[in-house]
Amino acid sequence: MSERSFTVVWPFSRRSSRRPASGTKSSSLRLEFDNLMVSIADRNYFGRYSKSPDGEFVLAWRDADPRGGRGGYRDSGKGDYLLVHDGEIIAEGRMERPNDGRVSNSGRFALSDWRFGAALRSTFYVFDSLGKILVSKEFKANALHSDISPDGQFAVFVTARSDNEDSNKMSLFDVEAATLLWSKWPQSGIPDRYQFDAARARLWLVYEGKGSYSFSMTDGTFLDLDRWEDERIDWAHPFELSRIGQERLEAAGSGLDVEKGAEIAFILKKAIAAGVDENAFEHSRTLKTLGDLWERLGDEREALKCFEEAQSIYPKIGVKRRIARLGNSIGKLS
């Protein structure tokens, strides 16, 4: 949710019992927040920001060279970041392209370095509240997003698609031990946010308006796989529903029975009713899958009907021979 424009002034005398030790004190900073941006007039600073859940820390960063005035994609000119607590800057530094900052209640913070140039690569960092690097891991894929637990004990980093083993991976780090616990692609997809349940060793992926599903923090096992498989039928996109139906039909193999067939038919019909027919190829492919299902269940008439409709919508869907074969078979039975 976006924030309205407002100004925060921290009194110089304000102190927190959790305030990290710092060097020479500077004057209290005036921070102005506007949506996703923060302005610090005392430092002539304007950039993105993140607040700790308890509001005690503010992490700000700029994917831009403050000296050269260049931002975003570039081959040189480092950006910068700074951590503010109690009206003072307690940590700051520079990196190539700082992005996607997150800060915890302990002051530990995470940043993704999108790196210079066009190569598929990124580096994930976690720092302590004084700017010391606790975690540093380079990936051969672009960064997608990241997060850190409220206590700063764990951090998660997600990569985008690439042409190597780092493609589409969600990686969980134990910050305290400076260890990569596991790296895998979550079947449930990229969430809106995370919840860290260290007591039960669960990482929850939260999808707004859909549900929350947990992965083991120990080894990345998808603990709620069965529940996700059932519940995603309620909110999946029509194209995804079509793929789910096709995947379940293939997975059924020789074990396909009337009960499983009814479940798959429900999914495929829901895909059509939900709008898969907005795309001719997807509509035709869904009908072809439905025809496959009926044919495997022994209902040749329903299968033929689906194949004929599929071909009429998208003639190159590849069912002509099956239509002819089923037509001949049904004709002999008549």
What is the tens place of the pLDDT at every residue in 120-175? 999 999 999 999 999 999 999 999 999 999 999 999 999 999 999 999 999 999 99
Instruction: Report, as an integer, the average pLDDT of 58-85.
Output: 94
CB 112 within 8 A of CB 91: no
Instruction: Say if 321 falls within a structural domain.
Output: yes
- Identify the domain boundary among 153, 185, 217: 185
Q: In terms of pLDDT, which residue wins out, 201 or 24? A: 201
Helix/strand/coil for 136: strand
Percent of the residues in the chain that have a pLDDT greater than 90, as a whole number: 87
Please return the burial class of 319, using the count of CB atoms within 10 Å of its CB with bins 0-12, 13-18 and 19+.
Answer: buried
Asked whether residue 42 falls in the same domain as residue 147, the answer is yes
Do both 161 and 260 map to the same domain? Answer: no
Residue 132 falls within a domain, yes or no? yes
Closest CA to 95 of 121, 67, 76: 76
- Residue 92 phi/psi, 5-degree rounding, is -160, 160
Kindly state whether residues 164 and 312 are assigned to the same domain: no
Question: Which long-range CB contacts under 8 A does 321-324 form with residues at least 24 apart?
Answer: 322/291, 322/295
Q: Which of 217, 219, 53 is nearest to 151 (CA)?
A: 53
Report how many domains make up the chain: 2
210 inside domain: no
Q: Which two tokens stand for residue 288?
A: 């072809």
pLDDT for position 203 = 98
Task: Tell whether 230 is covered by a domain.
Answer: no
- Give the pLDDT score at 27: 62
**Residue 206 included in any domain:** no
* Residue 257: other Cβ atoms inside 10 A: 9
63-68's contacts with Cβ under 8 Å and 24+ in sequence apart are 63/97, 63/98, 63/99, 63/114
The dihedral formed by the CA atoms of 273, 278, 279 and 283, expressed in degrees to the nearest 10 = 20
Do 24 and 95 share a domain, yes or no?
yes
Domain that holds residue 273: 236-333
35 and 174 housed in the same domain: yes
Answer whether residue 79 is part of any domain. yes
What's the mean per-residue pLDDT of the chain? 91
Q: For residues 14 and 138, state if they share a domain.
A: yes
CB 40 within 8 A of CB 31: yes
pLDDT digits (tens, 9 = 90+) for 275-317: 998 999 999 999 999 999 999 999 999 999 999 999 999 999 9
Residue 173 and residue 308: Cα distance in Å, rounded? 53
pLDDT at 69 over 90: no
Which residue type occupies 284?
S
Which amino acid, 42? D
Cα 299–chain centre separation: 41
* Same domain flag for 35 and 148: yes
For residues 153 and 289, give the distance between their C-alpha atoms in angstroms, rounded to a whole number: 47
Ordered DSSP codes for 276-315: GGGSHHHHHHHHHHHHHHHHHTT-HHHHHHHHHHHHHH-G
Q: Which of 18, 11, 217 is nearest to 105 (CA)?
A: 18
